[in-house]
Amino acid sequence: MLMRKPIFWISVSLLFIGGLYYSVKVFPKAFAILNVELKMDREAAFNKAESLSGTNGWGPKSYDQAATFYHDSRTQNFVELDAGGSDKVIKLIQDDLYHFYTWKVRHYKELQANETIITFTPSGEFYGFKEILSESEKGASLSQNKAREIAEDFVQNNENRCFYCRDELSKKLLETARRFNIDQIVDGTHLDDLGDYRPGITALHENGILSPLVEKKFTKSDVRSAAKSIGLTPSTIILILDLS
């Protein structure tokens, strides 16, 4: 029988060794090996979330809480497949630019819409929060005349419609920036954007939002070249230009 012959077992052994070698070489490229420094446990996440919630007045009151160690696989897959590969994933983590693994603590109350999700890095640093408010929650209000004025501006849909939209957007961004002690907001406007009538850009600048690409005289072509020089893929470059 074939299995009793030495040549068969020699061939099988060689195939096994070859497959093992190939797996060792290819596995790190196919699956990023991440070194996650996990310093925060569930109890520490609960305690820190409770402290932040009390300090900032996040709802709901008399909440229950739950925690999960979350993996942002969607973003990681995008970076691996379209924005630089596994090496880029590892570099983002090493440079502390993005965390694919985070603690998420949820403060909630049964049958209530109001809840807050507080996020921490694996090492225990605060990484952001999201509070969901009930539709009936009282918030900042406008006078009847001011609300009517804003509504009329929007429904006119005239050539200045982008001004009203960007003006309102930039004011909201500035409110958020002040809350997080952010001194300056910038946008991605470049020289090629200035060739048309762009009232939205005027609104941003009137609210103090800067356009550093314009200041440095970058065109769309310059943005593409600069992005490629730092290893960004075409799909990422398109995203940058769309956002600008």
Does residue 189 sit within a domain? yes
Question: 86, 103, 132: which is the final residue of a domain?
Answer: 132
Does residue 62 sit within a domain? yes
Does residue 53 sit within a domain? yes
DSSP-H helix ranges across the chain? 6-30, 42-56, 73-82, 86-94, 144-156, 161-179, 199-206, 212-215, 220-229, 234-243
Q: Are 190 and 223 in contact (CB under 8 A)?
A: yes
Are residues 121 and 177 located together in one domain of the fold?
no
Does residue 5 sit within a domain? no
Structure tokens at 67: 């925690």
Tokens 């797996």 belong to: 23
Are residues 149 and 235 located together in one domain of the fold?
yes
pLDDT at 32 over 60: no
Which amino acid makes up residue 124? G
Are residues 120 and 149 located together in one domain of the fold?
no
Which amino acid makes up residue 41? D
High-pLDDT (> 90) share of the chain, %: 23
Does residue 4 sit within a domain? no
Q: Are 150 and 172 in contact (CB under 8 A)?
A: no
Does residue 6 sit within a domain? no
Question: 69, 103, 132: which is the final residue of a domain?
Answer: 132
Least confident of 10-19, 195-204, 206-215: 10-19
138-149 residue pLDDT tens: 666 667 887 787
Does residue 8 sit within a domain? no
Question: 76, 101, 132: which is the final residue of a domain?
Answer: 132
Q: Which domain holds residue 63?
A: 42-132
135-176 residue pLDDT tens: 776 666 667 887 787 777 767 667 777 887 888 888 888 888
Number of domains in the chain: 2
Are residues 119 and 176 located together in one domain of the fold?
no
How far is 191 from 108, CA to CA, in rounded Å? 47
Are residues 149 and 239 located together in one domain of the fold?
yes
